[in-house]
Amino acid sequence: MRYVEEYRGADEARRYARALQSLVTRPWTLMEVCGGQTHAIVRFGIDQLLPPQITLLHGPGCPVCVTPVEMLDKALAIASRPGVVFCSFGDMLRVPGSGRDLLSVKAAGGDVRIVYSPMDALALAERLPEREVVFFAVGFETTAPACAMAVHEARRRGLRNFSLLVAHVLVPPAMEALLAAPGRRMDGFLAAGHVCTIMGMEAYEPLARAYRVPIVVTGFEPLDLLQGIHMCVAQLESGRATVENQYARAVRVVGNESAQAMLREVFEVVPRTWRGIGPIAASGLGLRAAFADWDAARKFDVVSVGGREDAGCQSGLVLQGRLKPPECPAFGTRCTPDTPLGATMVSSEGACAAYYRYRRFQSPCPPTSP
């Protein structure tokens, strides 16, 4: 496929690895905040190509993983109601709430459906006027414009039997929470390319300045990641801390202004609790009052009960980059994709699932030489 294969060249990857080798003079730790990048790094062995001085940490870059248990419990309660068609992206179905998941609701007779786009859920609402169609609006800034358009269209078409259960989260506030935490471990960030496709790069400038940390907006293919890492290390080696754009083929500095206008019309910034991290101020999106009639949390009036996490799951530390998946005692034994203790092992973009899939036969110590 065009704009994919040409960024997977083994020869260019080796050349990037050699360029990094001659650039790096001391240890540096970089963090990526995108589950797609985490998955690609582990799948393509990007971390194993790097000089031993460069360490990659995996941040809270998987929206499925950071959706709090209370929100999942709300989803489970709504999906269990008669007359409801509960639509979701596929990766949410096996994420455990307090003891169950959406798949078990489906097995018990609930009408839970996987859709590719929130617009598919909207089309279902149009086709099934006697049913209540609910879409589980999970995701970062990349996904929010799709959900905003769906609810905007529902209002325009007068569809009253469609609603969103909104759990959207924003990346820059989470990066700031990690930067401000004591014992910060990352020297630089790879910022999530598709989030920046929508939001642009401006939100990162104050972070780069205040915390003196280079931030490089990076794509998803092996050569993108290697170039992003090279740009970030080049800044660190020369004592700079600015925002740079590796992913210029898809990201403009100002982002996508028509998507941003739709986001502003439909959503407002709200506080949000992140699974494994806790509450972060102004880190989520919720529906504005004008769209209250399409807000599933209001419509179904589900009360939030305190969620229960499995005590043996250390995904919170994994999501903060404080623990590598193989360092968790439950990894690959009590916790596997078939019997996941936490979201990071369920979602294909969770760090634990990526390591299990591509690295489970290696020693539990992270490799140090390429």
Q: Which residue among 15, 127, 209, 360 contacts another protein (CB under 8 A)?
A: 15
Separation between Cα atoms, residue 325 and residue 352, nearest integer Å: 5
In sequence order, what are the beta bridge partners of 54?
28
**Angle formed by the axes of helices 10-23 and 222-237, to 10°?**
10
In the bound state with another protein, the residue whose beta carbon lies nearer, of 12 and 310, is 12
Applying the rule CB under 8 A, the residues between 297 and 316 that interact with another protein are none
Work out how close the CB of 176 gets to another protein at its nearest, in angstroms, rounded to a whole number: 19
Applying the rule CB under 8 A, the residues between 118 and 147 that interact with another protein are 118-120, 138-140, 142-143, 145-146
Q: Which residue among 11, 130, 301, 338 contacts another protein (CB under 8 A)?
A: 11
Q: Which residue among 94, 194, 272, 299 contacts another protein (CB under 8 A)?
A: 194
Helix-strand-coil split of the chain, %, nearest 5: 45, 15, 40
Separation between Cα atoms, residue 68 and residue 351, nearest integer Å: 17
Tokens of 291: 């769209």
Find, among 160, 116, 95, the residue nearest to 134 by Cα: 160
Residue span 60-99 as binding mask against another protein, x where in contact by CB under 8 A, dash where not = --xxx------------------------x-x--------
Ramachandran quadrant class, 282 (left: phi over 0; alpha: psi -120 to 50; beta: rest) = left
Under the binding rule (CB under 8 A), the answer on residue 3 touching another protein is: yes
Under the binding rule (CB under 8 A), the answer on residue 50 touching another protein is: no
In the bound state with another protein, the residue whose beta carbon lies nearer, of 77 and 138, is 138
Maximum Cα interatomic distance, the chain, rounded to a whole number of Å: 66
Tokens of 325: 């998946």
Contact 164, 294 (CB under 8 A): yes
Tokens of 213: 């940390």
In the bound state with another protein, the residue whose beta carbon lies nearer, of 147 and 330, is 147
Which positions lie near another protein, rule CB under 8 A?
1-4, 7, 11-12, 15-16, 18-19, 22-23, 34-36, 62-64, 89, 91, 116-120, 138-140, 142-143, 145-146, 149, 153, 156, 192-195, 197-198, 220, 223-224, 227, 230-231, 234, 246-252, 256, 258-259, 262, 347, 349
